[in-house]
Each structure stands twice: as structure tokens, then as C-alpha cells.
Amino acid sequence: MNLQAYIEERLTERKVLLMTHLIAGFPSLEANWRMLEIMAEAEVDLVELQMPFSEPIADGPTFARANQQALESGLTLDEYFDLMQRATVTFPFPHLMMGYYNTAFRLGHGPFCRRLAASGACGFILPDLPVEEYGDLWAAGAECEQTPIVLMTPTNTDQRLQQIGAQAEGFVYAVARKGVTGRQTDLGEDLYRFIARCRKATDLPLGIGFGLRSGEDLRQLQGQAEIGIVGSVLLEVWEREGEAGYAALVRDLAAGRD
């Protein structure tokens, strides 16, 4: 899949796209499936499936706890790839692997990308891997038509943003603020200045993540970024309000695109 072309085509119908997130195995694979069904009902544009890891350094408390519980429940890589394969066959949105470099390292770059391709994924996000450390992972991804999504952060210098932008493919994951996932983000002038810095470093679509929590947040991104990325609040609401609350939140987020 040409991920950039897909995003640009979707943007002819919507003012901003919605990418949602779930952690495989939390609270269970059965719950994951229902989450995906709800996302499909709301016509979510892209989905990240996270492979749990014991040291998820970019994740806040909600995700860190969910990672640990998924691993303690015994989730395996085979189960992760099985979920990915079943989901890509069933649901229309593109699926991205989100995880940590440990998975690619353990499998090897070629086998990692081949397994993603065989499972129907269109790319991967490895937030703990600097672009200069990818090595032959760039070539392995290209061979298997897997798009590597790189991150830009507010702490990056302009020179560093240029270095990252020169390697980027598909879209750029722009981290809305310093720190880890989960905490509310102020969608104000600081964020818009950061977005402007990213624009100078890449012509690719920008996805804004870390701290988006509502359809109103998506509306505020219209005209500023191409994708709003939402994760932690979805898990929080599933735990607090169950399936009904989760579905209501996904509908609210989806309504913020138009």
C-alpha cells in the first residue's frame, strides 16, 4: 500500500483523519476484536496495533500498565501476528504495527518485515529507534512494502528535524508535547509553532499524537495537521465505562473529522 497516497485520498473526503490505537491482549484479545469492530463502525481511517513490551519508554502510566498486563496474560508474538492478520482481512482501514525495537531485533529485520507483510500490515512505528540506527531495516521495509513511520518531537532541533524528515515515508508522527503518552495536551500556540517547524522539515502528512482526547481536539487540528492520533483515552474509557462508553468516544472522535 502507498500509505501517503491513501492519506491524501482520504483527505479529499475529510478535513482531518483519525488514527486509533489498541494494545494487543489488553484487556483481552476478545476485547481487542470488539474495539476493532467499533472502530470499523465509525469508519476510523487508520489503526495502530501495539505489540506489548516490558519497557515501553514512550508510554504513559495507562499504556505501561496495559503492556505489563498483556504480557502477564501470556500474549505471544504469534498471537499478535494472528490478530493482525485476522484484522487486516476483516476491516477496511490500514493497520500499522506499533511497538519497540526489541521485536524487530529478536526476529531480524528481514523476518520482521516479512511477517508484517504476511499479516497484512502496511507499516510500523518503533519510537525507541533513532533514524540513524535503522540500518538495513529501511531496505527490508521497502522490499516488503512496509512503511516505517518516524517521529518528530518538540525537543528536536531544526537540524534534527531536517535529518528525520529526509528519511521519513508515508507520514510523520509529530509528538504533540514533551513526555510520554496519556496526559492532556494543550492544543495552542506552542503546538502550532511545533507543527510549523515540522512543515519546514517534510512535505509528508503530519499525524499529531500524545494527549488527544476528544472530537473537539480533532476539530482543532483541522487545517493544522492531517491526522489526529488517539490512544490512551480509549483504554481509559474502556476500563471506566465499558463497551458503550468506548463506542460513544470513538463516535465523538470520528465526528471531529468533518
List, by residue number, the catalytic residues: 48, 59
For the packed helices 29-41 and 77-90, what is the interaxial angle rounded to 10 degrees? 20
In sequence order, the 6+-apart residues with CB closer than 8 A to the CB of 231 are: 20, 21, 22, 48, 63, 181, 209
Sheet holding 147-149, edge to edge: 147-149, 123-125, 95-98, 46-50, 17-23, 227-230, 206-209, 172-175, 151-152
For the packed helices 109-118 and 77-90, what is the interaxial angle rounded to 10 degrees? 40
Residue 228, strand partner residues: 18, 208
